[in-house]
Amino acid sequence: MSALRTCDVLVIGAGSVGLPLSYELARRGKKVIVLDKRASPGRGENRTAIGGIRATHSDPAKIGICRRSIEEVKTLEREHDLDVDWFSGGYLFPVYDEQREVALKKVLVVQKQHELNIDWIGPERVKELVPGISAEGLRGGTYSPDDGSASPLKVALAYYRLAANHGASFRFNEAVEAIEVSGEKITAVRTNAQTYCADVVVNAAGAQAQAIGALCGLEVPVTPDSHEAGITEPVQRFFSPMVVDLRSDDRSANYYFYQNVEGQVVFCITPKPKLVGLDADSTSEFLPLVVKRMVALYPRLRNLRVRRTWRGLYPMTPDGFPIVGWSEGVNNLMLAVGMCGQGFMLGPGLGIVLAETICETSDAHQAIFEQLSPSRDFESAVELLK
């Protein structure tokens, strides 16, 4: 094994959070090394994301982070001339029952307080946005036109190139095997190929976050579960927003779908009960389940041919909120884990928040760290718009 390698910040995980963070740190002058056990960037949970990015959450922390994410993804195309397939199609939550109407209107008050561009719209406007959507029992819905979608693979590659151009060093095919802690500080991180020493270590390991925490002697409450998604052949655009149906049945919770810039319909469903574990093999149950529900809501989808399906992992926390902040007990360890299936939409904004904190250039993010603190009471609140 070669000599000890040193850096300012060592990031574990070249994914949805680690990639934008490495760029934000490197462009601020930090010497950054990024470790990933896979062969290339964005090969973990990032590549299984379906691409939605919304600021219309139900809590202040994620609203603030994702507003920054949307602006940063737009910046990749506008200022860096990097095509990431950004499309401002908006998000639409159609409503067919009084219970969800009351719940969404309650959340709408919070969203308005944070100056989000979102409103309750009536049934006719819903039908204009998604022509042919089921009209039976339709009460309206919430619509946020500034939200949108992008390609997770293209965004990952864009941040990888930007980070590398600013001097960040990426070490692929390196799995973290041991972490040495002395005096409440990480003194060395050993992989299968090298040993590293850094002023700050960031755990951005996605579904492996708990295992990395255990190497430091920490209990990180992140438990992955599996979700499946699919994509159709491309067709001419016939609707624009991401459609999110919050209703559930005996086998699944919410599901959602949108048409990307290439005309393909991308879709995903939340299984019930949860499929806890690291299994990422596709199943035969997914497609019949999701197609039945999607076609019932939007019959115009019935003639589309599915091109492929896949399965990915949601690194979940007990309350559905990410874990972000300095670790208690290991002073130079920053946690950026437990994104609960929303790492792609949180990553660009979170990269800025963490970089400004690590570089000590801003103390304006205290409210975010308080809400997402690793030491919070995980039973005190539950995310309403997971």
> In terms of domains, do 218 and 230 share one?
no
Long-range pairs, 78-84, Cβ under 8 A, ≥24 = 80/158, 80/162, 82/154, 82/158, 82/161, 82/162, 83/154, 84/150, 84/151, 84/154, 84/155, 84/158
Check whether residue 251 and residue 303 sit in a common domain: yes
Instruction: Return the CATH number at 55.
Output: 3.50.50.60
Q: Does residue 77 sit within a domain?
A: no
Q: Are residues 231 and 192 in the same domain?
A: no
Residue 63's alpha-carbon distances to 59, 91, 341, in angstroms, are 6, 14, 16
Quote the pLDDT of residue 363.
82
Same domain, 324 and 234: no
- The CATH number of whichever domain residue 270 belongs to comes to 3.30.9.10
In a domain, 248, yes or no: yes
What is the predicted pLDDT for the residue at 383?
62
182 and 214, same domain (yes or no)? yes
Asked whether residue 157 falls in the same domain as residue 304, the answer is: no
Within a 10 A sphere around the Cβ of 367, how many other Cβ atoms?
11
Which tokens belong to 383? 């995310």
**Boundaries of domain holding 47:** 5-68+152-222+319-371
Claim to verify: residue 231 and residue 311 sit in the same structural domain: yes
Q: Domain for residue 75, yes or no?
A: no
Say if CB 2 and CB 194 are below 8 A apart.
yes
| Assigned token pair, 51 | 């691409």
- Asked if residue 80 is part of any domain, the answer here is no
Q: The pTM is what?
A: 0.95
CA distance 348 to 276: 27
pLDDT tens by residue, the chain, 386 residues: 467 899 999 999 999 999 999 999 999 999 999 999 999 999 999 999 999 999 999 999 999 999 999 999 999 999 999 999 999 999 999 999 999 999 999 999 999 999 999 999 999 999 999 999 999 999 999 999 999 999 999 999 999 999 999 999 999 999 999 999 999 999 999 999 999 999 999 999 999 999 999 999 999 999 999 999 999 999 999 999 999 999 999 999 999 999 999 999 999 999 999 999 999 898 999 999 999 999 999 999 999 999 999 999 999 999 999 999 999 999 999 999 999 999 999 999 999 999 999 999 888 899 999 999 999 988 866 666 76
Crossing angle of helices 152-165 and 60-78, rounded to 10° = 70
Nearest-5° Cα angle at 272, 103 to 291? 90
**Could you give the residue ranges of the DSSP H alpha helices within the chain?**
18-27, 60-78, 98-113, 123-129, 152-165, 209-215, 286-297, 343-358, 366-371
Is residue 203 domain-resident?
Answer: yes
State residue 29 phi and psi, 5-degree precision.
95, 5
Residues 213, 272: one domain?
no
Same domain, 332 and 282: no
Q: How many structural domains are present in the chain?
A: 2
Backbone angles phi, psi at 76, to 5 degrees: -55, -40
CB 313 within 8 A of CB 226: yes
Residue 378 has a pLDDT of 87
| Distance of alpha carbon 192 from alpha carbon 38, whole angstroms | 12
Q: Exposed (0-12), middle (13-18) or buried (19+): which is 84, by Cβ within 10 Å?
A: buried
DSSP, res 199 = E
- Give the domain-ending residue among 316, 340, 357: 316
341 residue type, one letter = G
In a 13 Å sphere around the CA of 82, the CA atoms on its Cβ side amount to 20
**Is there a cis peptide before residue 273, judged by omega within 30 degrees of 0?**
yes
pLDDT of residue 379: 81
Cβ-based burial of 375 (10 A; exposed 0-12, middle 13-18, buried ≥19):
exposed
Label the pairing between strands 252-259 and 264-271.
antiparallel
Same domain for 51 and 160, yes or no, is yes
378 in a domain, yes or no? no
Say what the pLDDT of residue 381 is: 64
